[in-house]
Structure 1
Amino acid sequence: MWDKTQCQCNLAHPKHFLPRFLVLLLTLFPTTTFSQSFDYGDALSKSLLYFEAQRSGRLPYNQRVTWRYHSGLTDGLEQGVELVGGYYDAGDNVKFGLPMAYTITLLSWGVMEFQDEIAIAGEAKHALEAIKWGTDYFIKAHTHPHVLWAQVGDGDTDHLCWQRPEDMTTSRRAYKVDEENPGSEVAAETAAAMAAASIVFRRINPHYSHLLLEHAQQLFEFADKFRGNYDISIEAAKIYYTSISGYTDELLWAALWLYKATHNITYFNYAIQNAESFGGTTWAITEFSWDVKFAGAQILAAMLPMEGKNKEDQQILQEYRSKAEYYICACLNKNNSTNVKRTPGGLLYTRRWNNMQYVSNAALLLTVYSNHLQSTNQTLGCHAGPVGPTEILAFVKSQVDYILGSNPMGLSYLVGYGPAYPERVHHRGASTASYKECKAFIGCMQGYHGWFGRHAPNPNVLVGALVGGPGSKDEFRDRRENFAQTEACTYNTAPLVGVFAKFHSLEKGSSNSTTLPSASLVSSI
């Protein structure tokens, strides 16, 4: 029970001890977790709830995450532009444009690819709402064909405070890219997001779909004509979302999404003509993330039909496919040399900080490509030999099941799913008294002293958040200060929406595939 005058909570409530007991039990007897079954439909529902917890702006009447309230209602006011809405990307209160756009691109891709499965699970409405919350904001942020407001808030000042978004006292300065200060990465990624979303809304809301496509085309033209690194123009983004890969991967990625959305040959020709110079057919990549889009672009190109293309175009598409399959084979541990590392428990492991983003992002790419191979009756050509779509899907299942609890720690890394999951997520709103229960203002340092440092579990469960996850030895410390492992991001969960829908459909026997991949296939990869 909250003491609303002090905004304190009763930390001795029995509910706080049950999950810790389960974690201890499952850690002592981890083998029991590897035979458990999972409710992918429940995981799907919970993953979509997470986006409601990350909403900025005025929350709608049907908001289901009730511990959140309105926030950021003056965003853009100082710069004379209306920028209320959008998403906070992680556990802080900054609206970073690049990861937000990438989140919507992945979410749209999953919904597009698995729309029937999501509808069967009864989550189509929530999935569309999650996408539209982002695209509505992008429409506001794109105030001129060559102007995109790409960030609200400053990470430096934000990180000095531990405040609920409803209490923010930190800078809400808005930052833009324009002709004099270009930002090709963020402009192109926002174009990709709006193009992908336009496909999702094409039948159910043609007018909105057309509006998104118009913005996407303008943004792509802006990104390409006025080339430059966004984190040079917006220095406030550099420390937090530095563009290591540059902007050529985003330009290819956006062009391919626009071709998929419009069938305009101009965008196809762009991806073909710039394939080599931009790295699309020369970079062999073993990760896919908000920064490095090459593998995603390569897979989009690899799935384009060869029919009707001239020999030169066919050859370039084949080179795209070669690089796309290199990425997939690396995930499957079937390349000749370079493969993605794995933890002893079998999880893909790229790096210490928020490793789960690479796992969930890979899960979407592999599931989409598995569908493509199955529908075209093809196999994957790895150095270790041909691989069929069912084997690829079996490996994805092993990663998804690890996330949901089939791992040495016996923890679900999807918060709120299963009997044991991280309880001290590095997240300002979740770790602090709900504004609806305690409207007393919580100051900048008051949040650090009164809430961040508590050993007790968070008072609000950040349902559906995929945290950074375990280290290279499958170890995990559930501590708020351990942000490399306990912070969650929107682009961690976004790709899982479609993947969860796929496995839920397979489990219920309502997909094009008849059965779930067998355990023997999982163990053989």
Structure 2
Amino acid sequence: MAFTTTMLAWSIIEFGDNMKSELANAKAALQWSSDYLLKAATATPGTLYVQVGEPNSDHHCWERPEDMDTPRNVYKISAQNPGSDVAAETAAALAAASIVFQNSNPSYSKMLLQTAMNVFDLADKYRGSYSDSLGSVVCPFYCSYSGYNDELLWGAAWIHRASNDASYMSYIQSNGHTDGSEDDDFSFSWDDKRAGTKVLLSKFFLENKIDEFQMYKQHSDNYICSLIPGLPNSQSYTPGGLLYKQSESNLQYVTTSSFLLLTYAKYLNSNGGRTSCGSTIVTSDSLIVQAKKQIDYILGDNPMRMSYMVGFSDKYPTRIHHRGSSVPSVHDHPDRISCDDGRQYYNSGSPNPNILIGAIVGGPDSNDNYGDDRSNYSESEPATYINAPFVGAVAFFSAGD
């Protein structure tokens, strides 16, 4: 959720001017989540609440929110139970949101930024991964595979952008070698922030030309170049042209990489509009073209002729892996549907009765096939962290309308 919040804020920061009448909705959604994170960070000093619910029983039950009766256990990180990854991502989210509300709600913005700094201090001072200190409830669902150094740099980068406090830039200079750039697998996700941090910091280099930060521009070039088909070290694509990272929720990587392509193109446009991939010159326009192919694929320009955004176009996923969408509403079925009784709807071959409009699912397999199967959560489960970067990407392209 913190990553979703960061990416929604970044979408508004870079492309909010294109959102027109939807800007108010984007900001309202952002405030909903930043309010939640603010509560989680300030309820108890020196503590960040990071999870509500018992994930094993929650995953076992197929029931609508109105009927939930699984334990609402609350889990937190602190000096005794460190969680640098989740804390630093929360700091990034609060700092990014503070930028969005700087003009419209300066007192709220100031509170967000100060809380971001406090949470970052907790993340940095008491280092450790929350999937270690809270392993029994975090894993295997939300394990931190990339460690926490990437989040520490990501959080510092966002706080610097929000505050212009030079100490955070000094922090990045002192700790920049610890984020695993050397073995970067070029993914950007809720778990791995390396590519996003590099693009964020490349803006600082392009504007200020400080030699110590040139490495972030070089790393950004390497990542961006890996997204251009046909170039050496290019990432994998399906026969239909979709970036393909892995079988589980692959579209999360498509929306994040498309967002970074467009954001980097914007940064390059204010500094010559081009970069090099080895001996090949790549223009910002070519990055935009590549991002557009990915966004168009998600919205229906693909071999299945299916939109992977629910409710968009004539053909879209109808059996998505989502409890509230697949179980009859309380309006249509007022009686309680228990934990196990909901399984009949999970196993049903019928379309979901409640259309979750706007949700983007995990997407097709490596051969562009999609079975529209509720039980295949790798392909049919929607997630907020898939949608958030997509908001910025479609905002960019809406400017051409």
Determine if the TM-score, normalized by the shorter chain, exceeds 0.5: yes
SS in structure 2 opposite 1:376? Answer: coil
Which of the two has greater helix per residue? 2
- Determine whether 1:376 maps to 2:275: no
SS in 2 for 1:123: helix
Give how far 1:308 is off.
5.8
SS at match of 2:399: helix
Question: Partners of 1:279 and 1:270 in 2: how far apart?
Answer: 16
Q: What is the count of residue pairs matched by the alignment?
A: 399
Q: Is residue 323 of structure 1 aligned with residue 219 of structure 2? A: yes
Say whether the 8 Å CA contact 1:285–1:295 is kept in structure 2.
no
- 2 CA distance for matches of 1:155 and 1:459? 25
Residue matched to 1:86: none
Query: Does the Cα contact within 8 Å between 2:199 and 2:216 map onto a contact in 1?
Result: yes
- In structure 1, C-alpha distance between the alignment counterparts of 2:395 and 2:46, rounded to whole Å: 37
- Kept after mapping to 2: 8 A contact 1:423/1:457: yes
SS of equivalent residue, structure 1 residue 493: helix
Contact 2:205/2:217 (<8 A) preserved: no
1:178 aligns with 2:78: yes
Residue identity matched to 1:410: R
Measured after TM superposition, the shift of residue 439 of structure 1 is: 2.5
Shift of 1:442: 0.6
Q: Which residue of 1 aligns with 2:335?
A: 440
Alignment of 1:479 with 2:373, yes or no, is yes
**1:115 paired residue number:** 16
Whether contact under 8 Å (1:114, 1:501) holds in the other structure is yes
SS of residue paired to 2:204: coil
Q: Using the alignment, how far apart are the partners of 2:116 and 2:313 within structure 1?
A: 39
Percentage identity across aligned positions?
Answer: 43
Label 1:452 to 1:141 Cα distance change in 2 as closer, same or farther (>3 A).
same
- Describe the superposition over 1:12-44 as per-residue Cα deviations: whole angstroms up to 9, x where unpaired: xxxxxxxxxxxxxxxxxxxxxxxxxxxxxxxxx
Structural mapping, 1:66-465, within 5 Å? 100-119=1-20, 122-142=21-41, 143-235=43-135, 236-280=137-181, 282-305=182-205, 314-333=210-229, 335-336=231-232, 338-383=233-278, 385-449=280-344, 451-465=345-359
Query: 1-side partners of 2:308 and 2:266: how far apart?
Result: 26
Q: Which runs of 5+ in 2 are unaligned?
A: none
Contact between 1:465 and 1:488, CA under 8 Å: does it hold in 2? Answer: yes
Q: Which amino acid aligns with 2:119?
A: L
User: Residues 285 and 327 of structure 1 are in contact (CA less than 8 Å); yes or no, is this contact kept in structure 2?
Assistant: no
Instruction: State which of 384, 387, 394 in structure 2 corresponds to 1:500.
Output: 394
1:247-280 CA distance string (max 9 Å, x none): 0000000000000000000011111111113335
Could you tell me how far apart the structure 1 residues matched to 2:17 and 2:208 are? 29
Gap change, CA 1:275 and 1:502, over 3 Å in 2: same
Q: Structure 1: where are the runs of 5+ without partners? A: 1-99, 509-525
TM-score (norm 2): 0.97
Which residue identity lines up with residue 378 of structure 1 in the other structure?
G
Partner amino acid for 1:326? N
In the alignment, the residues of structure 2 paired with residue 258 and residue 334 of structure 1 have an alpha-carbon distance, to the nearest angstrom, of 37
Residues 416, 462 of structure 1: 8 Å contact kept: yes
Alpha-carbon distance in structure 1 between the residues aligned to 2:78 and 2:16: 36
Larger RCO (CA under 8 A, 6+ residues apart) = 1
1:196–1:257 contact (8 Å) kept in structure 2: yes
C-alpha displacement at 1:384, in angstroms?
A: 5.0
Contact 1:201 1:208 in 2 (8 A): yes
Candidates 372, 377, 384, aligned match of 1:490: 384
The Cα shift of 1:315 comes to 3.1
Q: CA deviation at 1:170?
A: 1.0
Q: Offset at 1:206?
A: 0.5
- Please report how far the alpha carbon of residue 446 of structure 1 lies from its aligned counterpart in structure 2 after TM superposition: 0.4
RMSD value, Cα: 1.3
Name the SS of the counterpart of 1:295 in structure 2.
helix
Q: 1:430 Cα shift?
A: 0.3
Q: Identify if the C-alpha distance between structure 1 residues 155 and 318 changes in structure 2 by more than 3 Å, giving closer, same or farther.
A: same
TM-score between both structures, scaled by the size of structure 1: 0.74
Secondary structure in 2 matching 1:341: coil
